[in-house]
């Protein structure tokens, strides 16, 4: 799917993990660049065009968070973070600092590829933000602010629509609670995360076939949400 | 020098004898000069004698010396000599003035002496108390504090015992005391402690039991009781030492409080270090175990994806390796989670949220394990928001679903139901398996206990123990029960008062 010019940088200190991640990328016709340290990784991004960075949060020479902060100062390249289970706070911090998605160790090649593709696709689609987004039997027309389900218009409140629009605009990324609260309710509402829960529940009831087992608006427990058309 | 009993400062008989001797000596020394000196000057010599006696020997001997001087002066010096007769009546005035001046001098001089003596004694006392204070400030144990206090009070002819207050309002037996307190003494001490007042029983003085009980008042609380046993039956002695005893009681109280807080601080330090060590061991252990397993899962999965040149058989083997490595990872995670949950305090990241959401995400995580099994969901619409830690609650549901699948035949349905019951949400996960052994329904929540000893199904019996730890931390409870054709695990999650939601414009 990706052309040969798609370059992915893998910053990971464990050579064996780096090896199978790079192999999987090469199987997908990506050019895999490797770095064992944060400093080495930053040097590569500065020197060569890179379309995606896969970053292990536990690097020997530097904190992964400070790597992201540094990189975000001058580059918008998507970042996929590798992290351990039971390290939710690290993931949230990485995402709030500017990472786009995360994978929890241990992960399979299939999961890895799916995330990489989603992030690369997202990068290519960023240009046409005004299009009609379709998922399942739902169509979201961002330019006309109209949402239909199976052809019939669905009534959404302003907040519900706003929330849906933010989610659609962030397809393929993980959105932390804080990010969504900031985007939809504005800063200063980080203590009111129950609003987010309630509104996500309402969106699911209006748009999902089975609101309890959603297919599109997915919960990333302890972290936030993911919109997956 | 330190805490020595003070020498008795007056031995009366000797002093009177000495005073008499001095007067006689003055007479003897002056007699040869009788013809040379004027009588007025001889009076002066006698007054000097009285003055010296008063300063050196105290009031009583000085008064005696004044009278004796007048008598000796009259007998030996006033004509006619060697007779108390007085030839000239004007000498009566001399006698009166001499007596008056003598008595007055005696009074003034002796009072000065007493004042000096008092000042010296109080300086000594202050010095002693200062040294006691220094010693107590450096004391490292209650024994040292008690020894110092007892040594000081021994200087006042007093035996002392220190009773330390235990946490429950009771008093412990004396620290390091050679004097065992009887039950009467103990009840006096208890009452002094309870009322935080000095209790005295003077009538018991001299019987060898404690007669005064001083509360050890420290800034923050009463730390115990100082029980005082005089060695003599002289209660005035006790009264004289009262200030010293009170001073000692407050020094002891401060020292005990200082030791108490030092001990508390040391324990807190230890606990912090302990917790830090535990966390660092857990995190390095989990990192070291996770890395090779991540590699194993990833590499096996690469092979299972059937790269060119591999057969379906190889791919299947690789898939098994991958799944087993994942299973091992789950076991290790369970062990580490349990270790973390069993720590001093489980940090919960609670938020108000919908229970429905956790059900959805748990079912999504279990999709692969669930296979084609039907899931019967019984979840009422519009459940109230609940206050819980989403990550941990998801663990509970995942563990229960995992168990329900593992211990029931393939293809049979799994039920997940939740409903409000009194002041809690009651959640149950049921399967159509053979159920739990009826006699061990409670034990299955203990660590490393499994439903069936003979079972060859994987697992180390930590799943339910983790569930229990999490549910308990949330203030709920968890139980297992068998029912016809299956079994259930039910847990509760307390309802709270959810924060209000302000509706926005349509």
Kindly provide the ipTM of the predicted complex, given to two decimals: 0.89
The whole-number pLDDT of residue B9 equals: 46
> First-to-last CA distance in chain A?
19
CA distance B393 to chain A (A): 10
Task: Tell which residue, B371, B206, B350, has the closest CA to residue A222.
Answer: B350
Please tell me which residue of chain B has the smallest CA distance to A113: B302
Q: How far apart are CA B213 and CA B234, in angstroms?
A: 17
The whole-number pLDDT of residue B454 equals: 44
Q: Average pLDDT, whole number, for chain B?
A: 84
Q: Does domain B140-264 have CATH number 3.40.50.880?
A: no
Chain A residue numbers with beta carbons less than 8 Å from the beta carbon of B337 are 86
| Cα A138-A140-A143 angle, rounded to 5 deg | 160
SS3 B2: coil
Q: Average pLDDT, whole number, for chain A?
A: 88
Cβ–Cβ contact B415 with A under 8 A: no
Chain A residue numbers with beta carbons less than 8 Å from the beta carbon of B351 are 193-194
**Which CA distances in Å does B411 have to A196, B19, B183?**
37, 122, 75
The whole-number pLDDT of residue A116 equals: 93
State pLDDT tens for residues B325-351.
Answer: 988 888 888 888 887 787 656 678 899
Residue spans per domain, chain B: 12-134, 140-264, 266-341, 350-494
Cβ–Cβ contact B363 with A under 8 A: yes
**Whether residue A2 has pLDDT greater than 50:** no
State pLDDT tens for residues A16-73.
Answer: 899 989 988 988 888 999 999 999 999 999 999 999 999 998 888 888 899 999 999 9
Average pLDDT over residues A115-138: 80
CA distance A173 to chain B (A): 17
pLDDT: is A217 or B9 the higher one? A217
Q: How far apart are CA B300 and CA B322, in angstroms?
A: 5
Torsion from C-alpha of A200, A203, A207, A213, nearest 10 degrees:
30
- A188 backbone φψ class: left, alpha, beta (φ>0; ψ -120 to 50): left
The whole-number pLDDT of residue A214 equals: 93
CB B91 within 8 A of CB B71: no
Cα–chain center distance at B250: 17
CB B392 within 8 A of CB B405: no
Kind and range of the H or E run holding B360 = helix B355-365
- Contacts with A, B 476-505, CB within 8 Å: 498-499, 501, 504-505
State pLDDT tens for residues B459-485.
Answer: 446 888 889 989 998 999 999 999 888
Token couple for B478 = 């968890």
Query: In this prediction, what percent of chain A has a pLDDT beyond 70?
Result: 95
Average pLDDT over residues B388-411: 91
Chain B residue numbers with beta carbons less than 8 Å from the beta carbon of A19 are 299
Average pLDDT over residues A1-7: 63
Domains A7-125 and A132-227 in one fold: no
Cβ–Cβ contact B461 with A under 8 A: no
- Name the band, by pLDDT with cuts 50, 70 and 90, for residue B415: very high
Say whether A86 and B333 touch across the interface (CB within 8 A). Answer: yes
Q: Does domain A132-227 have CATH number 1.10.10.10?
A: yes
Least CB-CB distance to B360: which of A17, A159, A212? A212
Least CB-CB distance to A212: which of B298, B377, B385? B377
The whole-number pLDDT of residue A154 equals: 93
Please tell me which residue of chain B has the smallest CA distance to A58: B287
CATH topology of domain A7-125: Rossmann fold (3.40.50)
Residue spans per domain, chain A: 7-125, 132-227
Chain A residue numbers with beta carbons less than 8 Å from the beta carbon of B379 are 212
Query: In this prediction, what percent of chain B has a pLDDT beyond 70?
Result: 91
The reported pTM is: 0.65
- Name the band, by pLDDT with cuts 50, 70 and 90, for residue B2: very low
Average pLDDT over residues A136-165: 91
Say whether A197 and B353 touch across the interface (CB within 8 A). Answer: yes
Say whether B351 and A88 touch across the interface (CB within 8 A). Answer: no
Q: How far apart are CA A88 and CA A176, in angstroms?
A: 11
Average pLDDT over residues B387-414: 92
The CATH code of the domain at B350-494 is 3.30.565.10
């Amino acid at each position: 799917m990706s052309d040969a010019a798609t370059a992915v940088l893998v910053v990971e200190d464990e050579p064996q993990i780096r090896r199978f991640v790079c192999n999987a990328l090469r199987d997908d016709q990506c050019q895999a660049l490797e770095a064992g340290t944060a400093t080495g990784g930053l040097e590569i991004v500065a020197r060569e065009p890179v379309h995606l960075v896969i970053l292990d949060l536990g690097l020997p020479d530097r904190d992964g968070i400070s790597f992201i902060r540094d990189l975000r100062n001058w580059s918008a390249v998507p970042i996929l973070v590798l992290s351990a289970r039971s390290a939710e706070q690290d993931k949230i911090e990485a995402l709030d600092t500017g990472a786009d998605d995360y994978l929890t160790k241990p992960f399979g090649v299939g999961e890895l590829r799916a995330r990489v593709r989603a992030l690369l696709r997202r990068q290519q689609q960023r240009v046409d933000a005004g299009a009609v987004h379709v998922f399942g039997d739902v169509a979201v027309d961002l330019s006309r602010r109209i949402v239909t389900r199976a052809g019939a218009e669905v009534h959404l409140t302003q907040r519900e629509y706003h929330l849906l629009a933010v989610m659609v605009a962030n397809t393929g990324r993980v959105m932390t609670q804080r990010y969504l609260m900031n985007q939809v309710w504005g800063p200063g509402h980080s203590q009111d995360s129950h609003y987010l829960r309630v509104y996500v529940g309402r969106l699911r009831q209006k748009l999902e076939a089975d609101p309890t087992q959603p297919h599109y608006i997915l919960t990333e427990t302890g972290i936030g949400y993911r919109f997956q058309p | 020098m330190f805490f020595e009993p003070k020498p008795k400062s007056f031995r009366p008989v000797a002093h009177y004898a000495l005073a008499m001797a001095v007067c006689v000596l003055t007479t003897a020394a002056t007699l040869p000069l009788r013809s040379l000196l004027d009588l007025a000057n001889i009076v002066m010599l006698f007054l000097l004698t009285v003055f010296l006696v008063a300063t050196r020997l105290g009031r009583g001997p000085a008064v005696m010396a004044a009278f004796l001087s007048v008598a000796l002066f009259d007998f030996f010096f006033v004509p006619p000599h060697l007779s108390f007769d007085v030839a000239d009546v004007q000498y009566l005035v001399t006698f009166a003035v001499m007596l008056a001046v003598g008595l007055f001098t005696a009074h003034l001089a002796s009072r000065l002496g007493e004042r000096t003596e008092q000042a010296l004694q109080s300086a000594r006392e202050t010095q002693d108390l200062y040294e006691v204070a220094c010693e107590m400030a450096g004391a490292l144990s209650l024994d040292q504090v008690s020894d110092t206090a007892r040594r000081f009070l021994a200087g006042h002819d007093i035996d002392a015992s220190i009773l330390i207050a235990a946490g429950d309002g009771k008093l412990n037996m004396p620290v390091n005391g050679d004097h065992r307190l009887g039950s009467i003494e103990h009840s006096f001490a208890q009452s002094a402690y309870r009322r935080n007042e000095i209790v005295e029983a003077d009538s018991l003085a001299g019987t060898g039991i404690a007669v005064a009980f001083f509360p050890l008042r420290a800034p923050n609380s009463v730390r115990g009781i100082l029980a005082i046993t005089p060695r003599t039956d002289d209660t005035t002695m006790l009264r004289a030492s009262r200030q010293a005893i009170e001073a000692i009681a407050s020094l002891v109280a401060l020292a005990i409080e200082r030791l108490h807080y030092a001990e508390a601080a040391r324990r807190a330090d230890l606990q912090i270090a302990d917790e830090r060590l535990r966390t660092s061991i857990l995190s390095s252990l989990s990192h070291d175990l996770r890395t090779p397993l991540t590699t194993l899962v990833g590499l096996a999965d690469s092979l299972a994806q059937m790269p060119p040149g591999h057969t379906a058989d190889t791919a299947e083997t690789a898939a098994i390796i991958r799944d087993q490595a994942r299973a091992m990872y789950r076991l290790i995670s369970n062990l580490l989670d349990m270790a973390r949950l069993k720590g001093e305090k489980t940090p919960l990241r609670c938020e108000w949220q919908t229970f429905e959401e956790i059900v959805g995400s748990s079912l999504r995580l279990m999709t692969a394990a669930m296979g084609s099994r039907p899931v019967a969901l019984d979840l009422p619409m519009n459940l109230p928001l609940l206050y819980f830690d989403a990550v941990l609650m998801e663990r509970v549901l995942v563990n229960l679903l995992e168990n329900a699948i593992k211990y029931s035949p393939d293809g049979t349905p799994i039920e997940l139901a939740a409903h409000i019951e009194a002041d809690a949400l009651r959640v149950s996960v049921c399967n159509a398996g053979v159920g739990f052994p009826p006699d061990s329904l409670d034990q299955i929540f203990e660590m490393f206990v499994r439903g069936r000893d003979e079972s060859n199904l994987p697992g180390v019996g930590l799943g339910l123990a983790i569930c229990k730890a999490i549910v308990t931390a949330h203030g709920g409870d968890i139980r297992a029960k068998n029912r016809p054709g299956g079994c259930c695990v039910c847990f509760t999650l307390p309802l709270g008062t959810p924060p209000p939601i302000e509706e926005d414009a349509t």
